[in-house]
Amino acid sequence: MYRIYSKTKRMLNEEKQGESRVRENRMHGLVDEVRPKIRNSLRRSGFSLVELLVVIAIIAILAGMLLPALKKARDVAKGISCISNLNQFGKAAGFYYDDYNSAIGYQMNTSGAYWYQLIGPYLPSNGIVKGSYNLGVADRYVCPATSMDDTTDTSLWGSNRATIGLNGKFFLLSNASILYKLNPRKPDRLSYFGDTYGLRVIKWTLSAPPVVAEYRPGHNNAINILYYDGHVDTRRKGSFSMTQDTPFWSNAEDCAGLPD
């Protein structure tokens, strides 16, 4: 009888000691207190296929909403960069005028030099025709809204594929005497340089080719134009005549009162 009592007492003591050790281990973080049911629920808490598809669909919708805005912002940035390039052209042309008392012509009969050779010393350069691609290499002033594939391959200018050109209707070889000390009636309306397909731009008849010598609407159907007074403006295609002498093209007295 005493043996049974002693054995029972010993078992109770061992059970108490075990519970005591468990409590002590729990206090020290050595025993996981999470219940089995909770552990099982945690194991099953990943995304289901339907939930994953919903998340992907939401991301696709957001991307579709944001991408057009990003493209528009990128186009605006390219337009600002192009305007900055033309502003540099305007300053360089002003420096040339200060030195020679003359506007820059497409080709000057006094030296035979073309406009990009005349303006070159006033613009930092990598040795390429200003605003052009040459044998696949881009000048630093190339319009950022274009690639070489957007330019016109023509034998008129050798290997040069221009993105900026001169108003060749007025600033011509034959007008060299007029360009000397030029003081136009409406300098804020007389186009000087702009986005082009070639090194010069002239007005065409309606039956003439639409490229090579035309302003290039490369900014969402708009064209950046440097005017003779030095300011740059963005014009929509069709907002000026391509078939008639106007103050946009010429300083002639007989067109002074006409709209662009």
- Write the single-letter amino acid at 179: L
Nearest residue to 192 via CA among 92, 78, 58, 79: 92
Q: Within this chain, do residues 19 and 65 fall inside the same structural domain, yes or no?
A: no
Distance CA 169, CA 100 (A): 22
Asked whether residue 193 is domain-assigned, the answer is yes
Residue 210 maps to a domain: yes
In a domain, 46, yes or no: no
pLDDT at residue 141, rounded to an integer = 87
165 three-state secondary structure: strand
Clarify whether residues 10 and 114 are in a common domain: no
Looking at the domain assignment, is residue 146 inside a domain? yes
- CA atoms in the 13 A half-sphere facing the CB of 126: 10
Q: Indicate if 19 and 94 belong to the same structural domain.
A: no
Q: How many domains does the chain have?
A: 2
Q: Which segment of 18-22, 146-150, 179-183, 252-256 scores lowest on mean pLDDT? A: 18-22
Reply yes or no on whether the pLDDT at 225 is more than 70: yes
pLDDT band, very low/low/confident/very high, at 80 (cuts 50, 70, 90) = very high
Distance CA 63, CA 54 (A): 14
Check residues 259 and 45 and name the one with the higher pLDDT: 259
Residue 5: its pLDDT value, please? Answer: 47
Q: Is residue 138 part of a domain?
A: yes
Residues 18 and 126 in one domain: no
140 is a domain residue: yes
Domain that holds residue 23: 2-33
Is residue 84 over pLDDT 90? Answer: yes
Cβ within 8 Å of residue 24, ≥6 positions away: none
Does position 233 have pLDDT exceeding 50, yes or no?
yes
Reduced 3-state DSSP string for 158-187: CCEEECEEEECCCCCHHHHHHHECCCCCCC
Q: What average pLDDT does the structure give for the chain?
A: 76
Please indicate, yes or no, whether residues 183 and 121 belong to a single structural domain of this protein: yes
Lowest mean pLDDT among 5-19, 79-93, 216-230: 5-19
Q: Answer whether residue 44 is part of any domain.
A: no
**Is there a single domain that holds both residue 86 and residue 215?**
yes
